[in-house]
Amino acid sequence: MTAPTLLSIAKADLKTAKRCVDSQDKYEKHIAAYHTQQAVEKIVKYLAAQQGLNLWGHNIAKLISQCRGRGIKIPSEIERNADVYTMWETVSRYYPTQRIRRDSIQKAIHYTEMWIEEIEHKQ
């Protein structure tokens, strides 16, 4: 059995997000936000590793900035919303009193799925 890659784990995160995003339970919706953030983070780290970079941390904007100039393609929608997705990492786990819009999570899931398809198409 081959070891899972960050990309395959990111895909599993997205599956969880898709199952939870439409829940009427706000905590499950927060789980969707968290797993979407995790998917984005892992994809950035996966692509960075392909270029020999070993990135750490959860701040997606910082991770993306470390990828600049290295031929790593980050979709503009992901880059534009990096701060929002980063915020989901903590508020979804520790402070689930904050409101996260379902449509924002759904859009993030969509953009991330399209990104994965593009990555897999190039492999």
Cβ–Cβ under 8 Å, residues 41 and 60: yes
Q: What type of residue is 6?
A: L
Please tell me the predicted confidence (pLDDT) of residue 94.
Answer: 77
pLDDT 10s digit of each residue in the chain, 123 long? Answer: 445 689 999 999 999 999 999 999 999 999 999 999 999 999 999 999 999 999 999 999 999 999 999 999 999 999 999 999 999 998 888 777 788 999 999 999 999 999 999 999 987
The three-point CA angle 19-20-23 to 5° equals 120
**Which CATH number is correct for 6-122, 1.20.120.330, 1.10.3470.10, 1.10.3720.10, 2.30.110.10?**
1.20.120.330
Count of alpha carbons within 13 angstroms of residue 33, beta-carbon side = 28
Give the global pTM.
0.93
| Maximum alpha-carbon separation in the chain | 42
Please tell me the predicted confidence (pLDDT) of residue 1.
Answer: 40
Please tell me the predicted confidence (pLDDT) of residue 2.
Answer: 47
